[in-house]
Structure 1
């Protein structure tokens, strides 16, 4: 099972259009291309939803379909115990990614429900953080 699920939460479908001064001009398609290039022979499944339950369903499916998860849960990072619980039911590595440096933004963004489950957290490197996360998970799953 050499595949990675890359999950994107609310508003990331507007990447490149919404607040480009914070998130840049790259689109989610650009993120997908970057992840696939970083993955080498590992398959990438890229998903985005504005709905918490859909993200949870994909995490549940990942238990039998994917070796690792890269997740940018968007605003759900700061609010969703349900996503945290779903990730706790996943046995593989999880890397949390944020395009902006959330620690330089509003104080409510400083807390993450995802981080206690994550094997690593990447913030503030733009979309390049996704590639770093994919490479790290590839290293972990290829070593096992």
Structure 2
């Protein structure tokens, strides 16, 4: 029994649209990606590419013991899943705003680690002071 299938998924990864081609041939699975550009691709352009430039794709091949079975998904459920994924992957703002946000997160992470080390140093200092006081108390006259 041959389970051969080919699928093409168009995704928007800011700032470009990408096409992901998945191919299942018997127990082999291969995948290739293609950057389409910043504007939404037309169906005709994708058909043209598949017809005339298919051999230019570099497929990454793996062997898979389990073959993925594609089953029919309820359209409303599919809409809910897509909406949920869009909300999770939504990058708010421009490229510059995203870069600033990333920088802010890195600074926040550094401050957090510095605060942690300072806290540990203070704790150690306090422990040494109490240790010194204890020794002074038991020293004798």
User: TM exceeds 0.5?
Assistant: no
TM-score (norm 1): 0.21
The structure in which a higher percent of residues are strand is: 2
Higher relative contact order (CA 8 A, sep 6+): 1
TM-score (norm 2): 0.22
* Larger CA Rg, structure 1 vs 2: 2
